[in-house]
Amino acid sequence: MTYKSLFSVLTDAALIDETLDHAVAIAAAHDAHLDVLCLGVDRSQTGYYYAGASAVVLQETLERAKEDSEEIEKKVRARLKHESIRWSVEAGVSQLADIGRHVATRVRFSDLAVLPKPYGEGRGIELEPVTESTLFEGSTPAMIVPDGTTPQPAPKRIMVGWNESIEALSAVRAALPLLSASEAVHVVVIDPPTHGPSRSDPGGLLSQYLARHGVRVEIDVLSKTLSRVSDILLRHASDVDAEMIVMGAYGHSRFREAIFGGATRTMLEDATLPVLMAH
């Protein structure tokens, strides 16, 4: 099992290099084809303009978005033409409210999406719907790459956040090409349930499943000593010197996570190493 079709979305010229560094590295390691969508985004809110101005403003913002997409496409092609991988580039324009449809239509035919971290200083508001549409409407796992991180196409140590959810299991299955090639996988269980079939062996069934794929697994049972699950996961990732985190995404609804926070949202905000997520 391996990745043969990768996908990436670029909406900001400033994020081209850091995103393509990871995407190209994974494509080269797995002999995969990389598809890149270069989107110019119209971020205007036309409903707030005074009567008669909407058409004029819309034309200007769409023209600006087209210029952005052409600039991104030009830089992406200039970067990829020197790489030895197979690749293709598509450019287009989308309004912010419709960006999810454009992304989901294309990403669902990929094994893995490689995307920039959606939150942080200088990050456009369009990165959030790009990430969410990949995971939800596109049903495709995503590798989220924070800025300043070194590409890890074959990480030696991987940490898995395990809470017995369908989302976490989907992430594990999506990460099998990486897990099976690693030297050590730490399955982290935080405050395991005191009732149920796995109470005496937390993570045991997952460990058995991974072992049958040749994965070298260690189960790390942790107490919730910090208020946020993401903080515990990131601290433990540092303790075990993990090079990548694998976890389920949006076990709660997107609305709830946006309002009240959650492990997915805070991980996307605070991650300091690549995170493979699936819903």
Query: pLDDT per residue over 151-193, tens digit each?
Result: 989 999 999 999 999 999 999 999 999 999 999 999 999 998 6
In the chain, residues under CATH classification 3.40.50.620 are 5-145, 157-278
- What kind and span of H or E run contains 197? none
157-278: CATH topology: Rossmann fold (3.40.50)
State phi, psi for 136 to the nearest 5 degrees: -90, -75
Pick the CATH number of 5-145 from 1.10.150.530, 1.10.3720.10, 3.40.50.620, 3.30.70.260: 3.40.50.620
Evaluate whether 10 touches 91 at the Cβ level (below 8 Å).
no
What confidence score (pLDDT) does residue 259 get? 44
Detail the DSSP E strand segments found in 135-222: 142-145, 157-161, 184-190, 217-222
How many Å apart are CA 149 and CA 30, to the nearest integer?
20
**Mean pLDDT of successive 10-residue segments in the chain (279 residues)?**
94 96 97 97 67 64 92 98 96 92 96 96 92 96 94 96 95 97 96 68 91 96 91 96 96 54 85 95
| β-strands 142-145, 33-42 pairing | unpaired
What confidence score (pLDDT) does residue 45 get? 62
